[in-house]
Every structure is written in structure tokens, then in C-alpha cells.
Chains A and B, each alone.
Chain A
Amino acid sequence: MLHGLIPEASSFAGNIDWLIFLVLVLVGFWFIVAEGVFFWLIFRFRSRPGHKGQYLTGHEKHVERWIKIPHALVLICDVIIIIGAVHVWYIVKMHLPPADYTVRVTGQQWDWVFQQPGADGKLDTKDDIYTTDSLHVEVNKTYHFLLESRDVIHDFSVPVFRLKQDAVPGRTITGWFRPTETGTFDIQCAKLCGIGHGVMVGSMVVETPAQHAAWVAKNTPTSAQ
């Protein structure tokens, strides 16, 4: 449903969109039924000359079921949604597939700073590539990110990946993503972080393996070799 509005560009974007669709179907059903009954009752029992209201306490057995049956059905829908939500949550946030690359993402007022492996493919070595506001990644590779903040709380959000995670000062939060489409996409800061919050924008550049290899070769600091 959502891919009509915004592309799905990571391996788990489809899972999240599926869950949103599931919730939409279930709550949409209840919404339409409730509003339908609501407007029908307003029309059906509108005040007319000679019309008199009924006396019902709502505790009679034969009318109490109007509440009890929907009550049980809502509970079943809730259980279905909980199972779906926990399932998707597990995939995105609790489970960590093995990494092809690890990058460090640091938020600060009001920039994103990225540290990623140079030609040796390892993080925290001398040939690491540092960039500000744009992260170059290779399509169909699993990335781990180590998310940190230097000052206030920021939020690393990549809408096309359906990825969002707060960056909290004093902590390193590990997460993952696997881009599935090439292109240049927005990185947002999604947590109010001061007057520059509105300009804290970055770009996620997803490249083909050849493009990415060329970019890494070009940007690996030569002095480190």
C-alpha cells in the first residue's frame, strides 16, 4: 500500500508495509462498521412527531450481546495485530543478521557524520572514510550501523528504508539495514534537536557494486596506506 506513496528500498520495508496494511484492513473494517451503525442509528431514531423513545438499560441479556460480541471480536483482532507487530519488530529491531559492512553514524547539532571502512573493509582502521551528510552504501549488502550522538537526542531516519532509530548521547545503539534499490534518498533527523533541526538533512546514496568500489577507491585516504 505504502509503496505507491514512497519507494520500498530496504529488505524489511516490505515487512513494515505489510504490517501497516494488515492494521489498515482490520481497523478499517471496525471503523466502517462503527461509523455505519452510528449514522444509521442517528437517521433511524431521529425525532419525529408521535415517535417515542424506548427504555433499555443495556443490562438486559438480549441487548447486552450487542456489546459483548464486538468486544470479543475486537480482542481477536488485537491478538492478530500483536502477533504481526511483534513479528516485524523482531525482524527489524531484535534480530541482527551478519554484517557485510559496519558503519558509524554520529548525530550532532546539526549534521550527520558517517565513518565507514575504506579499502580494507574494516571499521576503525586508519583508512576509514569520513563523510558529512551523505552516506554511500552498496546495494544488497547488509550494513550494521553504530549510532551515536555528540550532544542532544537525534533520530536517524531513512523513510524509504522504513528505518528509524534515536541517537542518544552516551550510548551506542546498533542496528542494521540492507538496501535493495539504488538511488539517492533522504536521511532525516526525526527528533527535535534545536534551531537547526530543519536543516539536519542527509542523503543515503545506494550504489551498484561497481560504483561503490570506485567511490571507496577514490575516497580512501591515501596517507593511510
Chain B
Amino acid sequence: MAQASAATVHAHEHGSHEHKELHGVLKYLWSTDHKVIAMQYLFTGMFMAMVGGFLAYVFRMQLAFPGKSVPLFGYVSPGRYNALITAHGSIMIFWVAMPVLIAAFGNFLIPLMIGADDMVFPRLNRLSYQVFLLSVIVILSSLFVKGGGFGGAWTAYPPLSANAKYNLTPLGSSMWLMAVALEFVAFLLGGINFITTLMNARAPGMKAYDIPMLPWMVVLASIMFMLSVGPLIAGAIMLFFDQNLGTGFYDPARGGDPILWQHLFWFFGHPEVYVVLLPAVGIVLEVIATFARKKLFGYKTLLYTAAATAVLSFFVWAHHQFIAGIDPRMANIFTVTTLIISIPIAEMCFVIIATLYGGNIRLSTPMLWALAFMGEFLIGGVTGIFLGASGADIYLHETYFVLAHFHYTFFPIAIIGTFAGFTYWFPKMFGKMLNDTLGKIHFWGTIIPFNFIFIPLFILGLEGQQRRIYDFQNFPELQHLQPIRILATISLVVMLLFQFVFFFNVIRTWIKGPKAPKNPWHSNTLEWTVESPPPHGNWPPDQMPKVYRGPYEYNHPDREDDYWPQNIPPEREPTPSPAR
């Protein structure tokens, strides 16, 4: 019955979906094709990653060589430094991690992996990208307005963010807030689409537990985003009024409370960590299952741990505020919830690791990225325990230990996870095979320097170095740590230089790379049954896929081939494996 109703909805959807394929410039302005929109999100996100990386280069150079002119930028004044770190944090989270992991991979893969010809709300999807693009323009131009970009950190705590008298950036801070609000609107539109599409447009035969992990994770993330963002939007409107209309929501002199913003912000801000984590885990699971030739170790366990993480993440926010002046008794409650959330996350890691057991592991570039995600994310995970334990956070709060901790979570999520997904689905997205050797050079050239950037920063944090300081020479106890800062900066420059290998590989492949077959990795999921790249409408209308089994049937004892695509009927002989 469930199958029948899914089929009906799907047929109905397909019937109503009659927009034509557009060509030329129009295609990139008004196309409602989920793949075109996904590519727009992907390239915008990658462009913003380059911007964010450049900002990091500038302020790391200032920290290593304070007061010296930074090549390609110039002198970094304290005001500029604050604007640089604020823009780096905001851009990397809102304009890189979210558009790439959720919007780009979600848009490209959800319809393909569940066997639909497009999203259920294609026009909403188009609107989502256009609003997002507007937010990109606003955030980038905010860096160049009179007074400079907003310099109150990505957390934007009032009263600093609320009053131009304190932050000295009257235009920059309002534009920052507007850009963030627009970005939220874009992702609300996108999220509605992902959730509805997964619920209604699945291929006939695809039951809940036959859905691959990536669509599940993107949809769980979208649900979390929708539930958590409301309070922050309310908070942002109040902050905007405080900035521009002279209200006093966060001004204690007029009966407001600055800590209110912190609650509203972190009620969103902590679930946000898991909003970007889950899609990255989804990518990593698809890659690991394919390259380990293994069924996931406990599909349902994974799904439930992800859901448990999603629910628990709404009850941990005040661990960012232990020493913010909240009632000290409250810290105990949030210590308990914060440490409890380590259980589903640890279980998720155990399941990923256990999936490798009994596999036949091929270490191609996408698999290296996926395994690196696991290896590095563990460091981010365990260091979080130090900060969740309230007593230890008294010392470590707002130090470089915090900074290193969350870069060990966000870098695996937003950079390693993205590269895992990008190298894995590149053949499907562009119809060409990337060069594996160049891919591996890029991999090692990114992973090794990454550790040399952030392990030194853990040490700086343990030595008591606090964050968001443009020049540590003013602090006598921190002066002798300069060699460690220089090491981190040099590692960053090396890592950024290795990204040129990636761009070279992509451009070279684009021009003269070998053509990709339909299913180069011998994977099971439905996106590998369409042409590479998939045409408008994905499958020919009379050949829409049907699903007969779960997505991870690798090395099934009843089969000679080590994979068993979801769409192959049980009685029929498998199609011959495509040539590599």
C-alpha cells in the first residue's frame, strides 16, 4: 500500500512537471532543473570558500608577522582584523558549509538518489538560490562600505553588535545581519523542498529503510534547521531594530538584556553544528559503503543515532554560555545534556568504523577523503568533551582550544566532507573522470598541513591564549608563543597553495579528462543508473526506476557481483558491469 501511494504521488508529480529545458543565459537565470540549481550553489559555495580562505590567510599572516604588510592585502588594522575574522566565520558557515553540503549535494542528489525527475517545488528551488545569491552580494559588499565590515564576531553579541557607538561600523553591522537573514530565508525555502521531495517523490518500491543515507541526513538537517532558526530570526529582527530604530531589546539601560541574544543565537547555533554535520556524515557513509564494498554496519542504528543527535542538540545550547553570567546552577544541567550528546555521536563513529570490518577497501581519492573525515572528526569530537565539562570550560572557554576544537569539527565537515562528495560524484556531475594521482597529491597536501595548523592552536589554547586578538605582543605571558603562531600560519599557506592542484585537476579533467561511464564505482544507489551527466528530467519518462532493495547490498552471498543496484529486479540477470 505504501508503495502504491508513493507511486501515485510520483506519477502525479511527474504529470505536473512539464517545464521545458532552457538554453543559454536563460538556463542559468531561470532554470528550475535541480541539477542546474545544485551546480549554482556548488560554484557559489566554492567561490565563497576561496574568499573565506583568503580572509584566513590575511589574518593568520597578521598574527604570525604582526604589523607587517600582508602580501595581496596590505596592513591589517585592529578594526580590519575584527572584520576579517567575523567575515571568515560567517562566510565559512553560512555561505560555504550550508550551500555546498545541504543545498548543492541535497539538490543534486536527493532527486537522483530517490528516483525522481526533479524536486517537488522546482520554482521554490529557483527562488531559494536567487535569495541566496542576493545574500552573497550583501555580505560581500558589506566588507567595502564606509566604516568597514562588521567586526563583532560571527556570534554578534550585543551590545557590541547593537550600537554603532560601540562597534563603529553602522552600515557593516546592519548589512551583515541582513545578509544572514536572507540566507536563512533561502535555506528555509530549500529545506521545505527537500523534506517534501523525500516524503512524496520516491521511486516506486523505495520504503523508508531503502532510502540511502545522504537524503535522510539532508532531510534531518533541514528539519533541524527549520525548527531552530525561528528564534534566531526573531532575535535578528530585534537586533536590527536596536541597530537602526533605537529600540532597546538588548540594552540593559532601557530594560533589555544582552544575554537574551545569546540564548536565541545558540538555540540556533548549536543545532546548526549538526545541521552541517549530518549531510557530511551522509556523504561519508555513501563513499565508505561503496569503497569498502560493505553494507553499512547497522543502517537503523545509524538513522536512530542521527535522529537522537538531532533531538538532543536542541538541549545543549547554553554550554556556550557557562561563564556568560547565567545562573551557575544552569551550567550543571547543560553539562549533563552536552555530555549525553556524546553518546549518539560516539555510536555514529563506532558504526562508521565497524562498517570497515570485513570489507574489501579500495583507497581511491573519494575514500581517502571519507576516511580522513572519520580520523580527523574524532579529534574534534573528543576535544569537545573538555569544553562541555563546565569546570574545565572555565579555563578553556574563549581560548584557542575552542577555536582548534571547532575547526577539527568544521574542517572535516565542510572541507573534507565536501571533497569526499565532490570527488565521488564528480563523474556523475560532469561526465568526466578526475585524475586519481593528482587527487591524492591534493589530498595529502591538504590533510597534513591541516593538522599542522590546528594542533599548534590546541597548545596555544592550553597556554591561555584567548581568541580574537589582532596582536598578541600586547600580552606579556603570550609573547613567547610566537614560533607556534608562525608554524600554524606557514601550514595554512602550504595548505592553500595545494588547493591549486585541485583546481588544476578539475580544469584539466574538464578539458581533456576521460569520459565517465554510468556507474564508475560500481555503486548501488539510483543516481548511478542515469547518464553521466544526467539529462534534464534525469531518466527517460518511460524508464523511471523502480526499487527492489536497500541501498547497501554489497557482497551479498547470493550474488557473484560484489554489488547489487537498487533498481535491478531480483529475477533478472544483472547487467554486465561497465568498463572502467
Q: What is the interface of chain A, defined by CB distance below 8 A to chain B?
A: 2, 5-6, 15-16, 19-20, 23-24, 26-28, 30-31, 34-35, 37-39, 41-42, 45-48, 51-59, 63-64, 66-67, 70-71, 74-75, 78, 81-82, 84-89, 91-94, 109, 151-153, 155, 157, 159-160, 162-166, 168-171, 173, 185-186, 188-199, 201, 203
Contact = CB atoms under 8 A, between A and B. Distances in A.
B478 to A, nearest CB: 7
Given A20-B386, A56-B358, A84 B469 contact: no
Contacts of A54: 294, 357-359, 555
A20 B394 contact: no
Interface of B: 77-79, 81-82, 151-153, 157, 159-160, 166-168, 252-253, 257-259, 292-301, 323-325, 328-329, 331-332, 335-336, 339-340, 342-343, 346-347, 349-351, 353-363, 371, 374-375, 378-379, 382-383, 385-386, 388-392, 394-399, 459, 462-464, 466-471, 474-478, 554-557, 562
A170 B258 contact: yes
A54 B355 CA distance: 10
A58 B346 contact: no
A19 B339 CA distance: 15
Contacts of B157: 152-153, 191-192
- In terms of DSSP, what is the predominant structure of the interface of chain B? helix
Interface centre among B78, B363, B463 (most CB of A within 10 A): B78
A173 B355 CA distance: 50
Contact of A89 (B298, B328, B469): B328
Nearest to A46: B361
B556 A55 contact: yes
A203 B298 CA distance: 56
B350 A67 contact: yes
Nearest to A92: B394
Nearest to B357: A41
Given A51-B360, A151-B166, A6 B463 contact: yes
Contact of B351 (A27, A37, A58): A58
Contacts of A39: 375
Given A153-B159, A186-B478, A58 B378 contact: no
A192 B82 contact: yes
Contact of B79 (A78, A186, A192, A195): A195
B160 A67 contact: no
B528 to A, nearest CB: 18
B366 to A, nearest CB: 14
A71 B346 contact: yes
A63 B358 CA distance: 12
B335 A89 contact: yes
A42 B361 contact: yes
A27 B346 CA distance: 11
A53 B390 contact: no
A64 B298 contact: yes
Given A41-B356, A78-B339, A5 B159 contact: no
B466 A5 contact: no
A74 B344 CA distance: 10
B343 A53 contact: no
B166 A41 contact: no
Contacts of A34: 349-350, 353, 378
Given A55-B556, A85-B389, A162 B353 contact: no
Nearest to B294: A53
B394 A162 contact: yes
A63 B357 CA distance: 10
Contacts of A171: 252, 325
Contacts of A189: 466
A201 B474 contact: yes
A56 B144 CA distance: 56
B294 A166 contact: no
Contacts of B374: 38
A100 to B, nearest CB: 22
Contact of A41 (B151, B331, B353): B353
A186 B340 CA distance: 35
B297 A58 contact: yes
A189 to B, nearest CB: 8
B407 to A, nearest CB: 17
B390 A86 contact: yes
Contact of A55 (B81, B353, B557): B557
Contacts of B468: 192, 197
A195 B469 CA distance: 9
